[in-house]
Structures are given as structure tokens and as C-alpha cells.
Structure 1
Amino acid sequence: MKKGFLVLFIGFFCFLLAPSEVKAQDVPSQSENYFQQFKELPDSKSRVDFFFDTSNRYNQNSAYDWLDTVNVYLNSSQKTSDSTSVSEYRLIQSQIYYDLGDYEKSLAIAKDLYEAMEEFPLEMKSLILNIMDNDYSKLELFDKQIEIRRYKRELGLAENVSFYDIYSSLGQHRKAMEDYMTEEKKNIEDGDFYAQAVYNNNIGNYLRLDKSTPTALSYFKKANALIDVYFSDILNSKTANQINEGNHLKGVILGNIGKCHVQLKEYQKAIPFLEESIELIKKYNTGKVTPDLVENTLEIAECYLQLNNYEKATDYLSNDLTPVKIKNILKRNRLYASYYDRTGDFKSANEYLKQNNRIRDSLEDNDTNIKSQQLESVLKQDLENSRKMMEAQKADLEKSRNEIIEKDEKISLVFISLIFTLLGFSGLVYAYLKSIKNQRLIAEQKHFIENSLIEKDSLLKEIHHRVKNNLQMVSSLLSLQTKNTKSKAAIMALEEGKSRVKAMALIHQKLYQNEDLSVIEMQGYIESLINSVQSVYKKGGHNINITIDAEGVELDIDRAIPFGLILNELVSNSFKYAFPHDEENGKIYIHLRKTQGQEGFFEYTDNGVGLPEDSDERANSSMGIRLMNRLANQLQTTLNIDRTAEGVRFWFHFK
């Protein structure tokens, strides 16, 4: 709250001092002919540097003009057998094809250069790998993208192999946001307003894609304020490229604000943000294919369509932008279908709907399976990187410990030498020096032990956090499998498995959220578990009055996991079978308390239809009952079942 207030205060102060408008700055060299400057440079090396350092290079000449000129230089270099110049012009070619949206052609050229990577300097290797990284991302070849990022780390071009953008591309937006915050927040300096604007815009985008629209909108507004502060910062001069990139970022942020208003169905509010965004992106991203421009154009067309301004809607739909992404093609067709349906041209509307159906049919069979496989591959790589990171931390800890031991040994040797040198001195001086040494060693050992305990707690929390994330990933994979399964029995089994996985994930979540990592507070855990089960069985459990009496009871993880799984089975069974007519008078009572010493007592009752007459015979074949009995054995107890006048009662004592 304090930091946000400080940003706004700085922004307001700079606004008062700034000579021009805060919203955006014109690039001083906007009218410069970069294409002519490029042609006047003496050699391929200077042209490569100029090309990649100029973000708005297509301000006056199209990418096709640049490509034609680069082809002329390339042919000339090939005739003179200048292999270095040939490679550098091929690199520029690859980037131009990427800017034009021809990612396959761009990748083909970059891969040819990649084959001869050993002979290039590190700066050129970095440019080649960045182009390949971007191409693989656009072509959704994430396993190849991971290989490129691993190679970047081996060359020292990146500290870690990041996965957050890949997770987002695979639909795991919340996971992407958590990893992004962990990896990037620590690298942003307090006075770097541009980097802070990028950070808040990316966090907002993950939240927007995750449908957390109000929260996303607050991050975009903060990003917008930060980019205004960046422009108003008159103390730090900016190059033409920096101003150009800042204005382009401003356009992207405004477009995201507009998209949030569209998601909230606030179409009138969205239009000015989207219009200004389109204007800025066109002006400061000239000649490059950008998904933001296409998406914002489709969003503003939807706004006008919802506001019944069909003329404006068709103006935006019929412009010369061609969607590349499947989701944008589907949205454009949907908007055309809606427009023709509203204007009474049902034949045209039906034609666009058929186009969307054909696209979905062609993707439906393979898309989910491919995404599942890629998600599994990324997850394995992420776990492998986490394992390596923990091993490296462990090695560093061991190295530090050995260094401390060696240091202590050296100090001991020094003191022993001094003792032998000063044997002639009195015993009082000797005792005094020995006392100083002992106090010093005790303080160092105490400091080392305290740091080791802190690191141990941090590592344990990280382990529980990752176990929870991995279990959630397993739950997500089970959900994906459920969507591809037609058998009702299989779907039921997968849902039950997902519920059990969530019950275990909650244990680890509660552990890393606790200050005390050894025990779990059961009242909060049971409430979270009930909510989780209710989300699985959506049509049951919402009219049932659930009473939980477990205040003050804490269990360690060895008892909490089997207990949680038993309770998961009981609550699931109640939701599925105990109240078949969804009665409003349904009641569930959960009681957990500690008796004498370490003894505990658990009781679960409901007033549902009760167990069937042949329940004893079914117990031998029911997986749920058998699972609960085995879990009770882990608690060194026996599960007791009583039939009551209303419903059923389960209870047991445990140690």
C-alpha cells in the first residue's frame, strides 16, 4: 500500500514538473528514415547492430522493402564468398520473416545458422537463440523451446530455464503467474519504472486470462500509472528507441484495460482504451505482426456490435488485419455470425458458424492430447530443474559448512601457535585468551545453527509448496482426462481420484502456510476440504447443513493425510448417496477432539437415507470402504459403523 502511494506521488510530482503530456511521448526521431541510414552503413556487422537496436525500424519503409534490400546484400556477399556477411544478413532475414508473421520461414533460416553456432561470437549466438525461442513459442513447439532455453543457460546468456510463459500458453495461467512472480520480482529495481510497468502488466495479463478480471484490472491500472511516471521522469534521459518501446508498452497496457472492461461487459468504457491502444500500437510497432493489434481490433468490433452500432463494428471487422492465431480466427467468425444474425442474413451467419465448427472439429481430436503431452513434458523439466536447484543449494550449504570448519581449524592453529609462543606469560593471560576463543567459537556455531534452521524451514516449506503444486497438476491432468472420457464409470473414478489428490494437496498447502511445519490445524483444514469436495460434486452438498467441531485440534502429517482421505470418502459418499433428493434438512456432523494424553476421538454422522441392507456384503467389494479400513489401520485403529434411526454414524479412537 505504501509503495503504491509512493508511485502515485512521484507520478503526480513529475506531472507537475513535466513540460508535456504524461500519457505518451512522441519519439523525437519518429520522422527519421532508418531504412536510408541502414543502407548508408559500411558493412554487415554495423548493419546487424543497427537493425536489432532499432525497434521502430519500419516507420517509413515496409518490412518487404527491408527484405528486398537485405536480399541484394546477401547475394553480393555470396558472390564474394564472404561467409561472415552471409551469416549476418541471413540473421536479419530471419528476424524480418518473424516480424512479418512467417514463423516457419524465420525458423528454417535460424536453424541453418544454429548448425554453425560454434563459429559465431556470443552476441550473434544470443540473437539466433532469441529468434528460435520466439519462433518455437509462436508455433507452440514448447519442448523445442525448452531445449533452446537450456542452451542459453549453458552459454551463460540466462541464469535459469524459465517456464512461466509456456505454462500460460498451455492454459496454466495461475501457475505461470506464481512462477513469474517468484523469478522476476527480485530482479526489478525500485527506480526502474519501465520494468515495474512490464511486471504489473504481465501479472495482470495472467489474471485476465485466468478470468480474475477485477484483480487484473487493478494491476493494469498500476502498470499504466508506472509507465506515465516513466515518461515523466525528466531526471533520466531516454533514447528514441526507449521512448518508442515505452509508447508501444503504453498501447499494450491500454488495450489490456479495454479487454478487461469487455470481459466485464462494460463496452462503452472499453472503447476509448481500445481506440487509443490501436493508435499507439500502429504508430510505434509499424510493420510488425502483433497479436495485440488483432485482438484489440476484434474486441472493439465486439463492443460496437453489442452496442448495436453495426456500421462501426463492420468497419473494424473488415480492415486489412488477418488473424493468425486460431482463437482470433474463431472470434472473428463468431462476430461475423453474430452481425449477420442480428441483421437478418441467417445464411451468412450459418456459413461463419460452420467455418468455426470445421476449425474446432479439426483441432478437437489432437489439440487436448498434444497439450497434455506438452504439459507433462514441461512439468518433468520443471521438476528436474527444481531438483537440480535444490541439489546446488545443498552443495553450497555443504561447502559453506566446510569453509566454516576450515576457518575454525585455522583459527585453532593460530591460537595454538600463540599459546606456545606465549608459554612464558602468566596463566591468567592464557586463561583470558582461551576464554575469548571459546566465546567466539560458540557465537559462530550458534549463528551457523540458527542459519541452518532457517534454511531448513525454508526448504521444507518449498518442498511442501512444490508437492502441493505437483498434486494440483495431477488433479488438472485428471480433469483433462475426464473431458476426453465418455464412460460414466471412468469419469466417476477419475473424479473420485481427483478429490483424493486434492485432499492430499490441501495437507501440504496448510503445512507450508503454517509457521509450525510439524502440525496442521484441523478445523481450517476440514473446512477447506469440505469446500474442495463441494466443487467436485456441484449438484450436491449445497443445501446440507454441515457442522464441524474440531477447534484447537492439531495433527501431524502422518496422521493428517490418512484422516483427510477418510473424511474425503465420507463427505463424498454423503454428497453422492445420502441425500438423493437434495433435501434442505440434510445435516452432517463432524466431531474431532483429543481425549486423555495423545488419544483422539473422531465421529461422523449424517441424517441421510443410511446404508443399504446389504452394506456388509458391499463393504467387501466397495473401494471406498476398503480404502477407509486401510487408512484406519494406518492410524492403528478400527473404523466403526453404526446404523441410526436417521442416517449413519462412523467413529473411531486413534493414537
Structure 2
Amino acid sequence: MKYKISLIFTLSFSLFLFSQQETNKLNKAADSIIQNLDKLQTNQERISNLTGFAGKYRYVTDTKKLLDKALEISTDLNQKEFLAQSYYSLGNYYYFNSELDSALIYNEKANDYLKDGDFHFLQAKILNSKGTIYRKKGNVVLAISTMLESKNLMDKIDTLTFTEAEKYQFKGQNLVLNNSLANFYNQMEDYEKAFIYYDNAYEAALKLNAIVNAGVIISNKGESFLNSGHINEAISASERGKELKIEGKAHPRLIANSDLKIGLAYSKNGEYVKALQFLNNAHDYYVDNQLDGKLALALNYRGELFLEQKDYLNAKSDCESSKKLAKEQSDLEAYMNACNCLYKTNKQLNLIEASLINHEDYLKAKDSLFNEKNIKKQTQLEMEYAFKVEQDLQKLEAEKNEKQRKLYLSFAIIGLIIASLLTFLYSKNRSKSKLLATQKNLLEKTVGEKNMLLKETHHRVKNSFQIVSGLLFLQSSTIKDKAASKALQETQNRINSMAVLHQKLYKQDHTSGIDCKDYITALMTDILSSYSLPNIEKKLMVEPIIMDIEVVTSLGLIINELVTNSLKYAFSDEQTNSYIEISLKKNNDDVVLEVIDNGNGISEGSDKKDTLGLSLVRDLSEKINGKISFESLQNTDPKGTKVSIVLNESDIL
């Protein structure tokens, strides 16, 4: 069943268009909604009412019963769209209650129900939430890649047939995306881009008369001002944000969040008395409402304030509590700042060992790119091995000297010397065996760790390609010139072909080669989906041949160029039963790749044309010692084009 916009709109906009009502009767209102569900005509209205109310009140504890009820109804009905909506809303509940791992699990469950349907709007909101979770967990690269994917889905949605209510919801979701992207660029210290996205989101919120939204956005911009060193602007923006939240009668938790940011800004400005007042307000609210994720930040900011005032005991107490909570909440940024605070505080208290431990924890959290823990462990094992060898050699030398001394003293004890010598030889052989076993284990562990680092490298390369692809997509959406936009799309497809390759390398157990069948299947799916041509059938007859990574990289780019060429030029609008066939098989000592379509065919000499795509195909074929040929199937039925590349088996392994 086609998903309806009115059903799926909950968190991404409703969590952002926060409640503008008093919350003192929230629990009673939630009970009333559950009791009056039977008065609603459709299950869609029931699910929307339950999840929408929870999002409206920022997923505070009293709304959990509503989400449980929505999941119960969805499970009884066993309808994918209802289950996806319920799991998605539960994911938002856990996010706003600082349980990031649970939030990610429920978002993944929601996404599992959307794989086979046209649910772009809800999929975009799930990706938005996942990106926010990744950022909170410290993985900014994956966060921004996920958010760009969300924006890509939003841009594909046709709003011409939307009702006014649906358009309002769609604008709200775009508002959320702009704010989220601004937050990411703020964390990446690209403040110029962050300000642009914040301003777009702020103007949209004012046009939608979303007063609380506007307050949250301008508060976030204040944080960006603070990070970029514009402290006075940060104070002004943060205080304006609090005013708008109060005007819109926002939930008290949002007011506490503003107090937290204002307190930090005043602290950075050296106005410690004002800063402490705001930080204490935020701290007390988070304690009363058991919001451990936010409490970790409040304790950290207050600890740094005490540190600046040279009140080292209070600074140590607050930062230790912050470090513990941040670790429990998997908040990498808060954990890193707490470690840095404890490093400086313990240093001032002359607690050198504790200071060094926290400084080491700070460095580990700051630079997750390099697996410092594994490197140190490997170094430690190597040092322990070298030390043990030296000890064994010294022991053997001492035993040998003792035996010789006893031999010269008296022939009467020759029997004892012989026995001692036999014992020594046995001990020596046993020691050598142990040393060899230890060395073997060390080498196996080292190889395993290096393989793990290599797989991590492929994973990071894949993420980098995805980011570049996303940035190219964003750039192409702003270009009016069709030729330039088309060129950017072709470049994006080439990058995607390499990203798919590194994704396969990351997931497989070995890294010496790659199975062409899995890779070509995934690549074809990716290419066809990017052109949105559902009438083109793909035919794959690919044998599971393991090839060298460099060869597969060239083949992937060649297939991308040839398939893209067919999609753009081979088929007419009137043609039916269109297909593109890819064959890869062994033929004696050769491996033959064939790309065939049943389109219009190519004219004589087309393989000699100096186009970028065909030039790239020829150059790549030459690079892997392949023999390429073009064949027009004008005299066959069906007509079409066949491109063949013959590789020697010795060149691909």
C-alpha cells in the first residue's frame, strides 16, 4: 500500500515543532488519548494521534505509554507502514532520553519495513535521525554522509499533488534537515556553511510561525558563534533563543538547554557569576528529570568554570561525574572534554598519575582515526617478548657456568653433573619451544590486527567516496546548465562504482581479491537506481571469478561507462522489452567481459569517436591489457550493441 504523508509525519518535524502548551497535565492527557482511540475512524488516525502527541511533547517519559500502544496496534494489524512509524517514533524516544544505542536499533528496525516500498518521506526522516545519532556518538563522517543521503531522498519527492497540510509537513522536514546539516558543519568547524544552513532554517521556522523552532535554531547558531570565537554574538543569540522558547511556551527541558548554552557563553566571556547561575539552573533540571546525557554536559561546563576560578576540588568533582556519565551515554565529545578538564585539574592538584591517565584518555577520544589502543598493545607485546628472551639467555649462561664449576671441583660428583646436563638440555629445548610458540602467536596477532586496520581503511575510503558523491549531488542541484549537471552526475556514478568496490572489500573476510559476481550485481543495481528507468531489464550472467582489486576497479569503471552510455543513448521512448546484459566468463586461458543492449545500435566507426566515456573505456582496457571490440547488431534480432573485452587470466589475479 502506498504510504501516505499524513501518517508518517511525526518526529522529524513534530519533534522539532515542540509543544506550545503547558505540560502539568501531560500524563492525564496521554491517558485520555488512549481511552478515546475507539472514537477515531481509521487505524491510520490512531497511530498518527499516538506518535504525533509523543513527538509534540519532545518524547518525555510520560509519552512512552503512547508509543507502546502504537506498536501494539501496529503489531496486531501487521502492516509495514504502521510498524515502521511505531519503531521510528520509539527510536526518537530513546534518542531524546540519551539512550543512543537503543535509538539506533529502533531506527534500523523501522527501516527494515521500508525496503520494498515507496516510502521516501519516512526513509528520509529515519536517515535524518540516524545521522543525528552518529554525530552524537562522534562519527561526523558517517553522520554527514547519512544526512546527505536523507536530503537526496527528499529532493526526489514530488510535492505537486500535496495538500496544504502535507506541504506544511514537507517544509518542516526540510527545516529539520537544514538545522541538522548546520549542526554537522558546526562540529566540523566549517562555520561559514553552518551559518548559511542555520539562517535558512531560521527563516523557514518564522514563515511557518514555529516560534519554538526558531528559538532552538538561533540557540544552535549561538553555539556556532561560540565555537568560532564570537562570544558576544553567542550570548546575544543564545538569550534570543531562550526568549523565543518562553514566548512559544516550550517544554521546560528546552528552557534548561538554553540555560546550559547561555551559561557556557558567559563562562567563556569571563562572567563567572552570571554563568554559574545559568549552569546551576540547567544542572538542577537535568538531575530532577534524570537526563544523564545533558547532565554530563552541565557538569563538564560547570567543572571548567570552577577550573578557571581555581576552585580545583569542585572542578575535579564535577568533571569526574561528567566523565562517568558521558562514558555510560557513549557521548564521545562530552567524554573527551571531561578528560581534558580532569587532566588540567589533577595537574594543578599535583596528582600527576591521575593527570596523565586523563590526558591519555583525552587523546584517545580526540583521535579515533588511529587505533592507538591496538598499536600500544602490539608494542607492549614486542617489548615483553624481547625482555623474556634476554632473561632466558642470562639464565642459561648462569646455569652453564655453574655446571662447569662443579665439573672442575670433583670427579666424584660426575654423575650429578651428567644428570644436571641432561636437565639443562631438556630445559633449553623446552624453552626454545615456548619462545617459538610465543613468536608464532605474536606474528598471528600482528597479521590479524593489520588485516583489521586494512578493512577499516576500506571502510573509511567507502565513506569518503559517499561524502564526495553526496557533495557532487548537492552541487549538481544548484547548477542550471544541463551539460554541467550531466557531467557532475556521470562523475558521481564513477565515484559510486569505486565506493561499491570498497564496501565489498570491507565486508568480506579476505582482502587479497574480490568476487566479481557480487560486485557487478551490486554495481548494476546502483547504476540503474540512479537513473530511475524501471522499464530497463538487467540480465547478469557473471561467473564468481576472483580478481585483483586494481583489475576490478578498472572493470567497474568500464561497466559504469558502457551501461551509462546505453541508458542515455541506446533506447527510444517507444521501445519496449529493453534490456542490458552483462556477461563475464572464462574461455580457456581468457576471461571475457561482454556488455550488450538491444537498443538502436551504433553506427560504423563509433568505437573510434573521441568522447570522454569511450576514451576512458579504451584507456582502462589498455591499462589491464584487455583487447576491446565494438559490434553493432544491426542485422540481428533483436538489434543492439555488443562491447567485448578479452583479458588474459594471468593478468587478473
* TM exceeding 0.5: no
After TM superposition, the score normalised by the length of structure 2 is 0.44
After TM superposition, the score normalised by the length of structure 1 is 0.44
